[in-house]
A = this chain, B = another copy of it.
């Protein structure tokens, strides 16, 4: 009997994170006669001994297929950040004890920056204590803000969703032929990749969004209002994509300017949304126009009914590539996507040093933004368009997309 593998999911869900899980699980199952375990709620759950035997819950190829088409994290997630070994060695001792008890040979963690930090720490500690466990990171985030990879699995589907929804919103907003300013708030606190995807809407059949506000560009409420006023002289319906993370020059988030956003609940959770709502209120107070704010909210990260087949395929591939590398003895690395060419779009996987990924954020290059900071330029479209190509039609049962039954 060979050793066992274990895999966890961490951070915010995406609509393709389970395709990466499927990739890891299938590649492990074909390489070991041991078990493949899943951590329930990531490393936080593992520390509480919450482990399931995926060889039991994912038995058939039909279940694997449902898994690939199910949004959000099948195993559950956490936001637990592993302390540095020098600050708290006890947690490492506990973890490695647990992994030893489970007879783990390969450890996979699917996630973003923080998850890669976890993999880096575990790999270093493992090397120190002479562990033979191989630790591999599998990239995942709709935010597309990981370094050393051309893009991250999850981004393509979220970008396709945003492009599609913006086309629909633009159609809806023009219908009355009256003055109308629609502001759509899109996720991405520090990096504007998702907001930039609104630029994909423009085409023969859609005039596109009128303004894109990235968090990489300092925001001025007055200049914003002036731009909206100028635009509305050209066309009655103005549609704007704004990042939830746009900030003033003094570093405050725009959403912090609203009364409502300062609301803090009885337990200190600060509620930071409402950028679009705040800006709509400003527009309505200053210009003769109706306004509407739309927050894409959770819908943009869990829209399993509208995924990019390119994205879901790559998500599956990075999972498989991580397993392959780990079984070949690699540890402390993340699988990255490397673009070979744009036309035709070709991409391969490579392994990158986890320390070059963990705790960094990749921003949208400002060379890809127009001089007026309102639109994305051709290089961005060239970058993003291949990532939204082709569809994976959900399996509809009785009119609704069918998901895997939660474990």
Binding site for B on A (CB under 8 A): 13, 40-41, 45, 66, 70-73, 76-79, 160, 163-165, 167-169, 171-177, 182, 200-201, 203-206, 258-260, 263, 265-267, 269, 271, 277, 281, 284-286, 288, 290-292, 294-299, 301-306, 308, 385, 388-391, 393, 396, 398-406
Q: 3 closest Cβ contacts across the A-B interface? A: A265-B284, A388-B399, A72-B171
Cβ distance A169 to chain B, nearest Cβ, rounded Å = 6
Q: A258 contacts which chain B residues (CB < 8 A)?
A: 260
Whether A403 touches B288, Cβ cut-off 8 Å, given contacts A169-B299, A172-B72, is no
With contacts A71-B168, A167-B401 taken as known, whether A288 is within 8 angstroms of B266 at the C-beta atoms is: yes
CB of B265 within 8 A of CB of A174, answer no
The docked-state distance in angstroms from the alpha carbon of A258 to that of B259 is 11
- Beta-carbon contact of B299 and A294 below 8 Å: yes
Whether A303 contacts B168 by the Cβ 8 Å rule is yes
- Copy number in the complex reads 2
List the B side residues contacting A40 at CB < 8 Å. Answer: 177
Q: How far is B21's CA from A84's CA once the two chains are assembled, in angstroms?
A: 64
Given A79-B176, A175-B76, residue A306 in contact with residue B308 (CB < 8 A):
no
Closest to A305 in B: B164
Q: Which chain B positions have C-beta within 8 A of A303? A: 165, 168
Query: Which chain B residue lies CB-closest to A277?
Result: B260
Question: A390, B399: Cβ atoms under 8 Å?
Answer: yes
Does B205 lie within 8 Å of A405, measured CB to CB? yes
Partner of A177, one of B13, B41, B164: B41
Given the contacts A164-B305, A164-B400, A78 and B176 also touching, CB distance less than 8 Å: yes
CA distance A141 to B393 in the complex (A): 27
User: Complex formed: what's the CA distance from A81 to B308 in Å?
Assistant: 44
What CA separation (Å) do A174 and B296 show in the bound complex?
A: 19
Question: Within 8 Å CB of A271, what residues of B?
Answer: 281, 284, 291
Closest chain B residue, CB of each to CB of A160:
B399
A263 near B290: Cβ-Cβ < 8 Å: no
Contact A284 to B269, CB < 8 A, known contacts A176-B41, A259-B259, A399-B160 = yes
Question: For A176, A269, A391, which residue has the most chain B Cβ atoms within 10 angstroms?
Answer: A176
Check B71 against A160 for contact (C-beta < 8 Å).
Answer: no
Provided the pairs A281-B263, A286-B266, A306-B306 are in contact, do residues A160 and B299 lie with their beta carbons within 8 angstroms? no
